[in-house]
Structure 1
């Protein structure tokens, strides 16, 4: 069964170019291309769509708000395709339910892998995007209790060496399949380690693991 994809971008050149690129892969069926977030939401509410490739800056309804509505109203998973100019939207998009955040200048194979990763319920966050999140974190934080402060610090002693290895590779933007090849362990074993890390930190998904590993802070 092919992965049903919708492409939302107000630039017709990018829309059609992405459609042509995805057509070269057997895994995908591009069911629609739309010009803004409003059209994307309307289409996904009326049709079965697995993954929405979403631009950020669009008229009528931007990609961040569209992502929020898709998350609340449909089963469609959102992968944001963006440019360096869209830094300000990164955190909001993730908080609104985006499963991935990828730059448009990636190779077709990277975009293909990202779509498949998002489709299977995992998160994709490119390393350069993680760097932007890290550099944009505000140093001013509300006061916390000792218990909360302890829980939010990256204490390496809480994790096994294998868990730390996996966290480091997640922080580099690698998917489980890529981590499996690097560490010579099965994807199932990796999933078990990730579950353990999530349990120890109280985090919810791999994107938060990446941010936690890079910054030492829990960003829920």
Structure 2
């Protein structure tokens, strides 16, 4: 199934470069280009893409505000793409609903793989960079220990949340917890609903902000039923 993408960046050369990269991959079609966040919203309304690949720093409406508005558009996922991997606004974009982020000088294969990963609802983008970003920004936020929403999770959902916080995809979580991949998908959907979160990235941020995961460390959860 072809993944339909809109690319939003105020620099024409950046848009053209991303188009060339994406369309060199299998089953990806760039169906629109936007020059800023406001243009991106219009492109989404007209073209209904699966994914919007959006820069943060743009005129009129930046990628952060556009991401907030796109969060409620059914069937559309947002990937933020930045010049610097520790851009101060990236964590806010993730909180706003972006499913992950890339840096503009990422290898061609990583950009293509990222789009396919998001299209299938799988792992975080560039998990090693995402973890470093979260370590830097979320570690400076006081943990909300004892968040009552955690009590709503079953032990297995708690384990899956820990695995999500480590940046793992469904297949890897299934292998580590000795579950079927379809079962993992079900656990992810239920825990997101219970926690009132939009996507997997917000689940990672939640795990950090509640102190379930401490910045700079990992937690594995239980390895068996």
TM-score, normalised to structure 1, is: 0.74
Structure 1 residues 70-219: aligned runs within 5 Å: 70-72=70-72, 75-84=75-84, 87-121=87-121, 124-125=124-125, 126-137=127-138, 138-140=140-142, 149-151=145-147, 159-160=155-156, 164=159, 166-180=160-174, 185-195=179-189, 197-198=191-192, 202=195, 204=197, 205-214=199-208, 216-217=210-211
Aligned alpha-carbon RMSD (Å): 3.5
C-alpha distance 172-151 of structure 1, shift in aligned 2 (>3 A) = closer
- The answer to whether the 8 Å contact 1:154/1:212 transfers is no
User: Hey, what does 1:145 align to over in structure 2?
Assistant: none
Shift of 1:128: 1.9
User: Hey, what does 2:218 align to over in structure 1?
Assistant: none
C-alpha distance 213-3 of structure 1, shift in aligned 2 (>3 A) = same
SS of aligned partner of 1:87 = coil
User: Hey, what does 1:40 align to over in structure 2?
Assistant: 40
C-alpha distance 163-80 of structure 1, shift in aligned 2 (>3 A) = same
Query: Is there any run of 5+ residues in structure 1 with no aligned partner, and where?
Result: 142-147
20-29 vs 175-184, which moves further: 175-184
Between Structure 1 and Structure 2, the one with more helix by share is 1
C-alpha distance 152-89 of structure 1, shift in aligned 2 (>3 A) = farther
TM-score, normalised to structure 2, is: 0.72
Query: Is there any run of 5+ residues in structure 2 with no aligned partner, and where?
Result: 214-225
Shift of 1:4: 1.1
C-alpha distance 64-139 of structure 1, shift in aligned 2 (>3 A) = closer
Report 1 or 2 for greater relative contact order, CA contacts < 8 Å, sequence distance ≥ 6: 2
Q: Number of residues paired by the alignment?
A: 208
User: Deviations for 1:115-155, whole angstroms, at most 9, x for unmatched residues?
Assistant: 233334456353323322232234457xxxxxx84236989
Shift of 1:104: 2.6
Q: Counterparts of 1:180 and 1:139 in 2: how far apart (Å)?
A: 31
C-alpha distance 208-27 of structure 1, shift in aligned 2 (>3 A) = same
